[in-house]
Amino acid sequence: MTAGASARRSTATDLLADDAAAPDVEPTSTAAGDPANTAPGAAEPPSARVVPLPSRPPVPAAATPPAAVAPNTTERLPAEPTGPAGSAAQPAGEPADAAGPGRRARRRERRGPDLREQRRQRTREAIVDAAAELFAERGFDHVSVLQIAQRAGVVEKTVFNHFPVKEGLVFEADPPMRAALLDAVRRRPAGESAAAAAGGFVVVAVSQLGSPAAAEGVAEMARIIRGSRTLQAREREILGALTDTLAEQITLETRAAPGDLEPWLAANAVLGLYSALLELARDRVLAGESGAELVSELRARGRRGLALLQFGLAGYAKRS
């Protein structure tokens, strides 16, 4: 986890990156403070200023009808030249369907997506910040979506447009760890097992949760998750989905027959190691620990666990 608005949403399964794209929906709202709305007369950002367009070619005086006024200006411009059938002539190099003077539509088309995306991202960050504050203050189960919307200065529908379910404010729908875990398995060198590659990735990733940069976010999210049965259940679902994904990758590579247990045993062992290390990291940072010593402890414990997975449990916990 890292600091900042997006990092507040970092969780057990979001170790490497943040923010899944929200549905590309821009709700209409009249609520005060909703970033999706712009008050009339409000100053446009620099990127939204009108870009000067090339002037139209000069027209012979005999063909010039009464002067026309260009939109958004007080300057008189020559009227457009006309063709044989009285239709406006088209300047060279300009599309036949170009808008008239000012071309507002074309300017909006050029600048709209960037400004829209920036506004959408600002709104999303405001919602995540508001949710993190409220969850920390009251607990996840005691905060409503309406309260989050009010704190963020948007309407309730805007929150749902970005996060269809409240749990989405804490957990990514498709955690970045999923892709990173599969990538570690696919890119492993010859001679290395899938469990060793996946387990090695888990040990390195979780050990970093003990670093000072991550500890504050880990502790905050640990309190929120452990204080909510809903989030604990959702976290188990995500871990189960990660286990299934890893087992399917191993099955694909080994061409295991239906009913073979090995891919599922290997995947469950790796994600079991992940879950155990994660809870240890949470315990430690909640106790106020962080830094190089904690990172080293998590790495050492993770490697011992990984060694058991690689070399088997036959000699572990034997009754004397």
d(C-alpha 314, C-alpha 155), whole Å: 58
Binned at pLDDT 50, 70 and 90, residue 34 comes out as very low
> Per residue in 101-157, pLDDT tens?
454 555 555 555 689 999 999 999 999 999 999 999 999 999 999 999 999 999 999
Looking at per-residue confidence, does 214 or 76 come out higher? 214
What is the structure's pLDDT at 55?
43
Rounded to 5°, the CA angle 214-220-221 comes to: 90
Q: What is the pTM of this model?
A: 0.64
Q: What is the mean pLDDT of residues 253-267?
A: 93
Residue 1 has pLDDT above 60, yes or no: no
Q: What is the pLDDT of residues 207-257, one digit of tens each?
A: 999 999 999 999 999 999 999 999 999 999 999 999 999 999 999 999 999
pLDDT of amino acid 106: 53
CATH number listed for the domain at residues 112-169: 1.10.10.60
Residue 53 has pLDDT above 80, yes or no: no
What's the pLDDT tens digit per position in 3-15?
334 445 544 444 4
Average pLDDT over residues 24-31: 38
| Neighbour-count burial of 165, counting CB atoms closer than 10 A to its CB (0-12 exposed, 13-18 middle, 19+ buried) | exposed
CA 178 – CA 245 distance, rounded (Å)? 8
Q: So where are the chain's domains?
A: 112-169, 176-311
Residue among 316, 211, 202, 207 at smallest CA distance from 268? 202
Question: pLDDT tens digit string along 287-311?
Answer: 999 999 999 999 999 999 999 988 8
One-letter identity of residue 35: P
62-80 average pLDDT score: 43
Mean pLDDT of 183-198: 94
| Predicted pLDDT at 87 | 47
Residue of 181 and 313 predicted with greater confidence: 181
Quote the pLDDT of residue 312.
81
Mean pLDDT (whole number) for 158-184: 92
More confident call, 187 vs 95 = 187
pLDDT at 30: 38
CATH 1.10.357 fits 176-311, yes or no: yes
DSSP string of 53-108, one letter each residue = -PPPPP--GGG--S-EEPTT---EEPPPPB-TTSPBPPPTTS-TT--STT-HHHHH
